[in-house]
Structure 1
């Protein structure tokens, strides 16, 4: 009976240690409960988008699939500007940005740097946001929501334009860097 009790006690201690480790590992990385999950998704989409932007030749930044549709460079610039704009709904002040930045910023190096800076801006804000910050009410595109949803929209917006950018790249014979082995 002592062995059974000792065994049960050891199992309970093991599960308790694992639960505490999981709880504190999230807190060490960010102030909110969703910080780890959000940051993993953000890092993944950022790596792919920036990698694809860097892999795309500068002369392809002006390419567009049809008249009246954003060019490759405009898509990348739009994404960067969108990171700043959407995050502003959570009360995070964006840096100054020219109203027509998508059309005016055409240099590949400047667009890639703008993308990197916008993701760093989002990452910093996300790491500083607490659960209480994320639950704050806000209006986004005229709808009542909370700041947590603002961060979700940032990631989904980035994934939307990742898909668009993959299609643009493939139409131009560019293989996304993360899938070069399988083509």
Structure 2
């Protein structure tokens, strides 16, 4: 008997077994394509993580340009490490000041990089806060690749050194081949 739409043909009705065998064949083709890769498809050196990640420079192994009292040591108050400039090698940023048993000497903030020579001492590559500016540093931290700190200062020479009365938040970022200081809006005196 002929259907109104034309003659009946064998295998025109899809059965479950047909769908399963079609899906299996399609899956085999996709799996084979995923396993077969061109010869030049190996990971490049840039995509591979380094075999031994570089250690961050030791902030205690640096000679800081501070003018301390004779015999006074340099104290590393705080430090953070990370790849700040995106070159794949970590830098260390350190807050340092001359040691004092009384009072709070001004602090300096320095960026330290590993030596270019194998086994060489780390070196200062940038000064973010000059200790000659008579500043104190608090709330020092690293967020991503941005260094952040609160910088405290004095409104006049008559302000007691125990009690800074100026406060401003700063961040430092690597931009266009250098570290850029980004001050937050000036706060009222504290």
TM score, norm. by length of structure 2: 0.27
Whose Rg is larger?
2
Identify the structure with the greater strand proportion.
Answer: 2
Identify the structure with the greater helix proportion.
Answer: 1
Which structure is higher in RCO with an 8 Å CA cutoff and minimum separation 6? 1
TM score, norm. by length of structure 1: 0.27
